[in-house]
Amino acid sequence: MWENQDITGVFSTWDRNTGSSMRVPNTDHTFGTPYGSYAVVYPQRFPNYKSPSKLVSPDIDKCGDACFSFWMYRNGTQVHDMTLLVRTNGQDVARDFEMAADSEDRWARGQLYLPSNIGGCQIVFAPSFPVLRAKLFALDDLEFKRGRCSPLEDVNHPSFTCDDGNTHLTSDKICNFAADCEDGLDETHCGTFCDFEDNGTCNWSREDSKTRWVLEEAGSSNHEPKLDQTTATESGHYVSLELVNANIVSEPGRLVSPFLFNAAPSCRFVFWYYSQLSGDSSTVKVRLRRSGNRFDRETTILVTQGSKRVQWEKAEAVTSRVNHRFAVVLEGDLKRGNESFVVDDISFDQCALPASTVDKCDKDMYRCANGNCIHRNQLCDFADDCGDRSDEGAGAKCDVSYPGRCSFELGICDWTFRDTRWRLHRSGSSGRVRPDSDFRDHTENSIYGNALKLPFTYYPRGTTATFQSPVLFQGPFEILIEGVTGSDNNGAWRVDDVSFSDGCTKSANATLPTLITPTTVLKPSKCGSDHFVCKNGHCIDSASVCDFKNDCDDGSDETGVSDTAIMEAGPLRATSKNSRVELFYFASKVLRNEIDFNVVAFENSTSAPVAYLTGDTGGNWTKASIELGDRVAPWYLRLEANGHQGSSRVAVDDVTMVECSSAGQKRGAKCEDDGMVSCPGKADECIYDEQFCNFVKDCSDGSDEASCDRYPGRCDFENGTCGWK
């Protein structure tokens, strides 16, 4: 008889139950009825969390060369783990088992092959739940059979047929970013690529409210742009976000993808957008929606707010590893009727899990339970590189060979806080999270995961917080992770999934010298979180820091700040007479004599301004095209902004050098008329004399580098040291 292992202090034990008395699963696997029985365990609901009881089999006389199979049902807001142990001679050894994909919220088969060298044994199920969030594990139809296990695909019922009836696929093969049908039919209707032309919205569905997504022809739209991204024509199509009634408080409108499955860690959701959002109150978010429980909150992976670029922009949202069914949600919330947000050319990039293509892994590689090969430095790093989590499980010996690792799902492990400013950010009981906490952790890629957090809200700018690892060998040494608060009250540092490489050993009793961190006593203490503390203890408004004015009597608010901000490129090569630099600049609240923005060229140790950009751009990005002309190498290009008093702001983006190549300059007149010389092999091409034999092919045929005997001591060290000693 299977029984609970007697663990002192355990509140959660395995019980026998039926579907008629349960919300999920509402049927057993054996009969598929509400009156069939199964074994089930829940996490206990008390703050002093203990591991649930293990479920242990009776003694089995001969375990070798047998297949142990079972059906498992798991349900919850985040991944929870089942470890399968084989107990022989009182010793428990964890074994990696196979599990059917798409195993959440349904009965799914798992199996383990026991090799012939095992004698008598017991089988032990050891569940693990994240604190206060996961819901249950259920088991049914446990079975031993002699011989090897059959492929899992043979025991799950196919739900999809393709290739003219010759291929039958289970549900985990549908919309998994990989074409398992030769004709690709299993991925055709999944919405993973959509240009909104021939197939409408490609099975993306609308969830409308006071804000809604609309499929439009670009030229017929009542807002910009009048050309779509795909075809760059007025007859092209896109989806746009519009406010139905500007007089009513808006609710977000959602565009939802079909349900997808099993995204790889490298997965990216890519789309093009054209934004005319005017402020931070209107937002468009990319969210992940978990299948199953409609009450689970969505996880935000990208937020887009106001933009004045008025051009098509490319966006990438990092989907990362998702090992269950999920949908991508474009959620838009407009606050003004004259705003719009347009999306085109949706796609998913690098989302398919790698398929095993080799029978044996190289010696520096690790073979996953599913047959994939990964590099050993990817083991036990809290990333599911295998695709079946076996690189993070018992077979990889993560808890034995990798001390100091911590996912913060069950606490802070062996790490310690040096102060109380770091806090373990976790969701509340029963899977609930605070309304303002929709960020995801790294371990579970979900808002229901745990991570360390240093919020800026509660501490003055510059506050330091530290937490430290256990002492490790060889060394001894320990790692300190230090965060320093910034000025944004909504900002925070977050840390998750700390791990060390193989070979470190945790010390049992070694100690390190006490690290004394210099501290500064801030006086007076009345400075609030929205104020800056000067070195002399006086308080000033945070907005007055780094504004080119000494608001602190001691000037400490401007420490490290110069009246001139400089960006420089160089050394640069020689340029043609037609060369120019193009850039976009943004000038806001610029009054007369408040700020100077100059483009300066440095050549032969002398500087010469080539352009002065003045005036306010009215809150818009403005393009500037500036002639540079002939420049002799080496030279430098510098952007200078000289700040005076006031609240002026200047920004620069997309700096491009145009028609700068001096190679093969065509001259209508003689080269000498422009102070240049002809290329030896191209009489109609001109270069400067100093461009001969400079290891750069300035002539299009390279003839300026062909005969350099009159340049003694010349050496590129490609064929020796050329007589240099």
- Residues 55, 46: contact at Cβ < 8 Å? no
How would DSSP label each residue in 169-228? E-GGGTTSSS--STT-HHHHTS-SEE-SSTTTTTT-EEE-SSEEEEEEEGGG-SSS-SS-
**Over residues 295-307, mean pLDDT:** 78
Q: What is the pLDDT of residue 403?
A: 75
Query: Which has more confidence, 645 or 403?
Result: 403
Q: Model confidence at 70, in pLDDT bands (50, 70, 90)?
A: very high
Across 59-84, b (16+ Cβ under 10 Å) vs e yields ebeebeebbbbbbbbbbbbbbbbbbb
* C-alpha to C-alpha distance for 298 and 137, rounded to whole angstroms: 23
Check whether 316 has a pLDDT greater than 80: yes
pLDDT class for 137, splitting at 50, 70, 90? confident
Contact 586, 651 (CB under 8 A): yes
Q: Which residue has the higher pLDDT, 538 or 592?
A: 538
pLDDT at 197 over 70: yes
pLDDT at residue 524, rounded to an integer: 41
pLDDT at 475: 55
Fold for the domain defined by 564-649: Jelly Rolls (2.60.120)
**Residues 468-511 pLDDT 10s:** 665 554 455 666 767 777 666 666 777 776 776 666 666 666 55
pLDDT at site 428:
41
**CATH class, range 525-555:** few secondary structures
> How confident is the model at residue 233, as a pLDDT?
94
CATH class, range 190-349: mainly beta
Angle ∠(680,682,686) on CA atoms, nearest 5: 85
Query: Residue 381 and residue 385: Cα distance in Å, rounded?
Result: 9
Look up residue 627 and give its two tokens: 């002639």
pLDDT category at 594 given cuts 50, 70, 90 is very low
Residue-wise burial string across 376-390, b where 16 or more C-beta atoms lie within 10 A, e elsewhere = eebbbbbbbbbbbbb
Give residue-wise pLDDT tens across range 10-51.
567 888 888 877 667 888 888 888 888 899 887 765 444 556
| Mean pLDDT of all residues belonging to the chain | 76
- Choose between 693 and 456: higher pLDDT: 693
Q: What are the extents of the domains in the chain?
A: 3-146, 190-349, 365-399, 416-495, 525-555, 564-649
Contact by Cβ (8 Å): 225, 219: no
Quote the CA–CA distance of 351 and 266 in Å, as a whole number. Answer: 6
Please give the Cα distance from 548 to 4 (Å, whole number).
70
| Token duo for residue 433 | 């999270």
- Determine the pLDDT at residue 439: 66
Here the tokens at position 4 are 């609970």
- The least confident of 43-47, 281-285, 532-536 is 43-47
pLDDT at 667 over 60: no
CATH fold, domain 3-146, is: Jelly Rolls (2.60.120)
Residue 80: is its pLDDT beyond 80? Answer: no
pTM of the model: 0.54
pLDDT band at residue 272 using 50, 70 and 90 as cut-offs: very high
How many alpha carbons fall within 13 Å on the CB side of residue 259?
13
Angle at 420 between CA 416 and CA 422, to 5 degrees: 75
CA distances from 277 to 242, 284, 307, 620 (A): 11, 9, 6, 13
Is 190-349's fold the same as 525-555's? no
The pLDDT confidence band at residue 307, using thresholds 50, 70 and 90, is low
Instruction: Say how far residue 54 (Cα) sits from the centre of its chain.
Output: 36
CATH topology of domain 365-399: Low-density Lipoprotein Receptor (4.10.400)
pLDDT-based confidence at 256, cuts 50/70/90?
very high
pLDDT reported for residue 715: 78
